[in-house]
Amino acid sequence: WDKQGFQFEAFRPQVMDVDKPLPHIRLDAALEFLIGDKLR
């Protein structure tokens, strides 16, 4: 199992300029991470 690795979604905000709009986040990935086990 130690050679398979894991794939985690990056939810930490990226470093940005203060005068630029926020980037799009993947709500589908966020919902899957938060409540995915309840939907199965």
CA-closest candidate to residue 33, choices 14, 15, 6: 6
| pTM reported for the whole predicted model | 0.38
Domains: count for the chain: 1
**Taking 60 as the threshold, does the pLDDT of residue 8 lie above it?**
yes
What does the alpha-carbon distance between residue 38 and residue 4 come to, in Å, rounded to a whole number?
25
> Is residue 37 a part of any domain in this protein?
yes
**Is residue 23 within 8 Å of residue 14, measured between CB atoms?**
yes
**Taking 80 as the threshold, does the pLDDT of residue 19 lie above it?**
yes
> Is residue 6 a part of any domain in this protein?
no
**Is residue 33 within 8 Å of residue 9, measured between CB atoms?**
yes
> Is residue 40 a part of any domain in this protein?
yes
> Is residue 4 a part of any domain in this protein?
no
What does the alpha-carbon distance between residue 12 and residue 25 come to, in Å, rounded to a whole number?
11
> Is residue 25 a part of any domain in this protein?
yes
Average pLDDT of the residues in 2-9: 70
What does the alpha-carbon distance between residue 12 and residue 24 come to, in Å, rounded to a whole number?
13
pLDDT confidence of residue 22: 77
> Is residue 30 a part of any domain in this protein?
yes
Whole domain around residue 23: which residue ranges?
Answer: 16-40
